[in-house]
């Protein structure tokens, strides 16, 4: 009887752990801005991303537990001149040194979520779509820098990069994050 009970307990433990969601690696963030009339994409990431995500048996609970803080000075576009141009203009304000994000809503049937994004002390709800494959949750959405009270910073950025952007910079930025899970 003890062996049967132990086997049942072990089986239940395995089933529960198979259905649990937990972070399995580092959260990745990708941004894509656009320049020139042809809307040429320029992508990058940030090197300093702090993510706190609690394990859960429930996907929605797992995602909504995520608390992310990004240091804007760690922006990385694989081009040191571009990095400096962006960080010295767009993120030059003291209030724009960090970007914070939390997920406030998850709709598992439509594979949509809402990201509460705080930048320059302004918070906005960003609708995103997500996919799950190969142990990753990948969410994609779009923001407008101007929605975060950064008009002056954006204008300084546009002016500084006018020659590189053929006098056309877009304030919209595609955002994407990847949560590896097991």
pLDDT at residue 2, rounded to an integer: 54
CA distances from 72 to 11, 31, 53, 90, 97 (A): 46, 12, 21, 9, 5
Structural domain for 171, as ranges:
21-180
- Closest-CA residue to 126 (of 138, 106, 142): 142
- Mean pLDDT over 20-25 rounds to 94
Mean pLDDT of the chain: 91
In a domain, 5, yes or no: no
8 occurs within a structural domain: no
* pLDDT on residue 3: 55
Is the sign of the CA dihedral 52, 55, 56, 59 positive or negative?
positive
Has residue 7 been placed in a domain?
no
pLDDT band of 19, cuts 50, 70, 90: low
Give the mean model confidence (pLDDT) for residues 30-36. Answer: 97
The per-residue pLDDT for 5 is: 45
User: Has residue 105 been placed in a domain?
Assistant: yes
Pairing of strands 172-180, 28-35: antiparallel
Residue 13: which pLDDT band, with cuts at 50, 70 and 90? very low
Question: What percentage of the chain reaches a pLDDT higher than 70?
Answer: 90
Q: How many domains does the chain have?
A: 1
Type and span of the H or E element at 87: helix 80-87
Q: Of 71, 75, 77, which Cα lies nearest the Cα of 164?
A: 77
Please answer whether residues 115 and 102 qualify as being in contact, where contact means their C-beta atoms are separated by less than 8 angstroms.
yes
Question: Is the Cβ–Cβ distance between 73 and 96 less than 8 Å?
Answer: no
Helix (H) and strand (E) counts for the chain?
4, 10
Does 157 map to a domain? yes
pLDDT reported for residue 94: 80
Q: Residue 136: CA atoms inside 13 Å, Cβ hemisphere, count?
A: 12
User: With contact defined as beta carbons under 8 Å apart, do 138 and 176 qualify?
Assistant: yes
The answer to the question of residue 11 being in a domain is no
- Which pLDDT value is given to residue 95? 82
Q: Are 42 and 82 in contact (CB under 8 A)?
A: yes
Query: What pLDDT score does 102 carry?
Result: 98
Instruction: Reply yes or no on whether the pLDDT at 147 is more than 50.
Output: yes
**pLDDT of 142 strictly over 90:** yes
In a domain, 152, yes or no: yes
3-state secondary structure of 167: coil
Confidence at residue 6, expressed as pLDDT on a 0 to 100 scale: 40
- Within-domain flag for 6: no
CATH of the domain at 118: 2.40.128.110
Average of per-residue pLDDT across 88-107: 93
């Amino acid at each position: 009887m003890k062996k049967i009970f132990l086997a049942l307990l072990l089986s239940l433990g395995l089933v529960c752990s198979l259905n649990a969601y937990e972070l399995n690696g580092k959260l990745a963030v990708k941004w894509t801005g656009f320049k020139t009339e042809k809307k040429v994409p320029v992508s990058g990431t940030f090197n300093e991303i702090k993510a706190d995500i609690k394990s859960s048996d429930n996907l929605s609970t797992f995602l909504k537990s995520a608390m992310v803080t990004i240091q804007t000075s760690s922006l990385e576009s694989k081009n040191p001149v571009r990095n400096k141009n962006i960080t010295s203009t767009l993120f030059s304000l003291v209030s724009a040194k960090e970007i914070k994000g939390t997920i406030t809503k998850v709709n598992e049937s439509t594979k949509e979520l809402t990201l509460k994004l705080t930048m320059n002390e302004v918070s906005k709800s960003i609708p995103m779509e997500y996919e799950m494959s190969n142990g990753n949750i990948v969410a994609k959405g779009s923001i407008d820098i101007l929605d975060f009270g950064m008009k002056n910073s954006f204008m300084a950025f546009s002016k500084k990069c006018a020659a590189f952007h053929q006098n056309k910079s877009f304030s919209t930025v595609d955002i994407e994050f990847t949560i590896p899970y097991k």
